[in-house]
């Protein structure tokens, strides 16, 4: 099948990836109500069709935090992408750079920040608050030295939410012989992935935290990617408060974006904390299930703090039409998570590049048929509100 839409990349990824990784990407937390809401609320928004305007010249570029983007879309931080395709984060970084958009590298990436920066474009860097502040300080110095321009600080994961699908697939919770047999069978039944990632995509470590994890007994015994994940889970710091952002600001002198805000009061606290941007996000429906969709939280937050910092959103973007809906709802730009993870799993850099050019083409069509010539001017009037 030749993929035409994000749903098609999802299907290709489902066929090519071991079940544990496909379910990890595709799933959300608990009953997945929020995951479904992200998509359903986006679909429910109607664009307002306008005709007979001269739309021969479209402006899709935005400048944010000193960065230029050729379209208002970036790659959201997605953990373990190096397990979806050989050195996956480096491949995605090349696709993003070729498209002229930012990629935000997850702290849970297989490729180290050094490996990704060596592609020629230092990525934005995402971090969680870890208990080991000394390690965080070292990591921030490392990514600063590489020229990473923006720090994205994720605040909606002081502790990981439960993902039923990961338990069912045997990705988490299973240990010993049962885990080994399950994972071996999963790999053997996906030979294209075995060749690409398992045989030729090593090392399978988490590049940003490998130094710290190397000290643990599991890692000394050889370590699997799940050992890294459990190290990380043990090291999330749930005592984190806005005061800790002061510490981050002292440690990092570049722009800071706070990711994972759904509430207006929290958005105001982000402004007070001195960050330059925020991402309206529920972690793609992977944390607190039952919370509202990102797209429904966006308008009020953009209205409250949009004049003070740059407001972005992620969650449920599955097409270029959705990108315009996000802008119309108040976002300066949006980020895609699963869309690029599926494309990477479907076929690496080439498919991420194709997926991004599809998003761009779809955004163009949406702009032309809503009479929006410049994304900087996209507003509520692009939406057809009832009444
Ligand atoms: C497989 C996967 C891994 C993720 N890993 C991270 C991560 O390491 N750090 C982070 O801040 N967000 C992470 N996220 C959340 C995304 O950055 C983003 O908020 C979410 O995917 C947006 O929703 P969407 O998938 O509907 O586009 C992850 C999401 C997925 C699907």
Nearest ligand 1 atom to alpha carbon 80: 3
pLDDT of residue 387: 61
Q: What is the pTM of this model?
A: 0.97
Percent of the chain scoring above 90 in pLDDT: 87
Could you tell me the residue range of the domain that residue 119 belongs to? 6-162+235-375
Average pLDDT across the chain, whole number: 95
108 closest CA partner among 278, 236, 253: 236
Nearest ligand 1 atom to alpha carbon 336: 27
Residue 202 maps to a domain: no
CB-defined site of ligand 1, < 6 Å: 24-25, 38, 76-79, 106, 108, 126, 154, 259, 281, 283-284, 286, 314-317, 336-339, 341
pLDDT of residue 227: 74
For 68-112, what is each residue's pLDDT tens digit?
999 999 999 999 999 999 999 999 999 999 999 999 999 999 999
Shortest-distance Cα residue to atom 6 of ligand 1: 78
CA of 356 to the centre of ligand 1 (A): 17
CA of 101 to the centre of ligand 1 (A): 17
Residue 41 maps to a domain: yes
CA of 344 to the centre of ligand 1 (A): 14
Mutate to test the pocket of ligand 1, among 13, 76, 236, 334 (most ligand atoms within 8 A of CB): 76
Q: Is 204 annotated in the active site?
A: no
pLDDT of residue 222: 55
Residue 147 maps to a domain: yes
Query: Which residues are 73's β-sheet partners?
Result: 334
DSSP-based three-state secondary structure for 189: coil
Shortest-distance Cα residue to atom 12 of ligand 1: 77
Shortest-distance Cα residue to atom 10 of ligand 1: 77
Q: Of the residues 37, 87, 190, 283, which is catalytic?
A: 283
Interior/surface letters 346-355, b for 16+ CB within 10 angstroms, e for the rest = bbbbebbbbb
- Choose between 285 and 386: higher pLDDT: 285
The band of 230, judged by pLDDT with boundaries at 50, 70 and 90, is: confident
- Region of poorest pLDDT, from 113-122, 169-178, 254-263, 336-345: 169-178
CA of 53 to the centre of ligand 1 (A): 38
Residue 198 maps to a domain: no
pLDDT of residue 385: 85
Residue 288 maps to a domain: yes
pLDDT of residue 215: 66
Give me the CATH number covering residue 136.
3.20.20.70
pLDDT of residue 95: 99
pLDDT of residue 271: 98
Tell me how many domains the chain contains: 1
Nearest ligand 1 atom to alpha carbon 38: 26
The band of 266, judged by pLDDT with boundaries at 50, 70 and 90, is: very high
The band of 232, judged by pLDDT with boundaries at 50, 70 and 90, is: confident
pLDDT of residue 218: 63
The band of 317, judged by pLDDT with boundaries at 50, 70 and 90, is: very high
Nearest ligand 1 atom to alpha carbon 77: 17
Residue 180 maps to a domain: no
3-state secondary structure 220-257: HCCCCHHHHHHHHHHHECCCCCHHHHHHHHHHCCCCEE
- Choose between 158 and 375: higher pLDDT: 375
Percent of the chain scoring above 70 in pLDDT: 97
Mutate to test the pocket of ligand 1, among 14, 79, 111 (most ligand atoms within 8 A of CB): 79
The Cα 112–Cα 31 span in angstroms is 33
- Helical spans, DSSP H, in 28-111: 33-44, 88-99
């Amino acid at each position: 099948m030749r993929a035409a839409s994000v749903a098609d990349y999802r299907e290709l990824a489902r066929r090519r990836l071991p079940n544990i990784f496909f379910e990890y990407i595709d799933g959300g937390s608990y009953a997945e109500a929020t995951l479904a809401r992200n998509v359903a609320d986006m679909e429910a928004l109607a664009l307002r069709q306008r005709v007979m305007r001269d739309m021969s010249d479209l402006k899709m570029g935005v400048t944010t935090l000193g960065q230029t983007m050729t379209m208002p879309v970036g790659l959201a931080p997605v953990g373990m992408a190096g397990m979806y395709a050989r050195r996956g984060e480096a491949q995605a970084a090349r696709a993003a750079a070729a498209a002229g958009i930012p990629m935000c590298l997850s702290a849970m990436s297989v490729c180290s920040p050094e490996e990704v920066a060596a592609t020629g474009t230092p990525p934005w860097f995402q971090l969680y608050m870890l208990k080991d502040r000394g390690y965080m300080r070292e990591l921030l110095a490392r990514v600063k030295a590489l020229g990473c321009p923006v720090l994205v600080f994720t605040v909606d994961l002081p502790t990981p939410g439960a993902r039923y699908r990961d338990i069912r697939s045997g990705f988490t919770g299973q240990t010993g012989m049962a885990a080994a047999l399950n994972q071996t069978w999963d790999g053997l039944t996906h030979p294209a992935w075995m060749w690409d990632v398992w045989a030729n995509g090593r090392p399978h470590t988490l590049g940003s935290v490998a130094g710290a994890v190397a000290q643990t007994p599991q890692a000394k015994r050889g370590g699997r990617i799940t050992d890294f994940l459990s190290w990380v889970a043990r090291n999330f710091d749930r005592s984190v408060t806005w005061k800790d952002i002061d510490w981050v600001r002292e440690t990092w002198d570049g722009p800071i974006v706070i990711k994972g805000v759904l509430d207006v009061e929290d958005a105001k606290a982000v402004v007070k904390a001195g960050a330059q941007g925020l991402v309206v996000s529920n972690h793609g429906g992977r944390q607190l299930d039952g919370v509202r969709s990102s797209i429904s939280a966006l308008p009020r937050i953009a209205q409250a703090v949009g004049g003070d910092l740059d407001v972005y959103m992620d969650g449920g973007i599955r097409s270029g039409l959705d990108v315009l809906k996000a802008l119309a709802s108040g976002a300066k730009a949006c980020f895609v998570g699963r869309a690029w993870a599926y494309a990477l799993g479907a076929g690496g850099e080439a498919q991420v590049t194709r997926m991004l050019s599809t998003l761009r083409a779809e955004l163009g069509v949406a702009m032309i048929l809503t009479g929006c010539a410049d994304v900087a001017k996209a507003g509520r009037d692009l939406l057809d509100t009832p009444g």
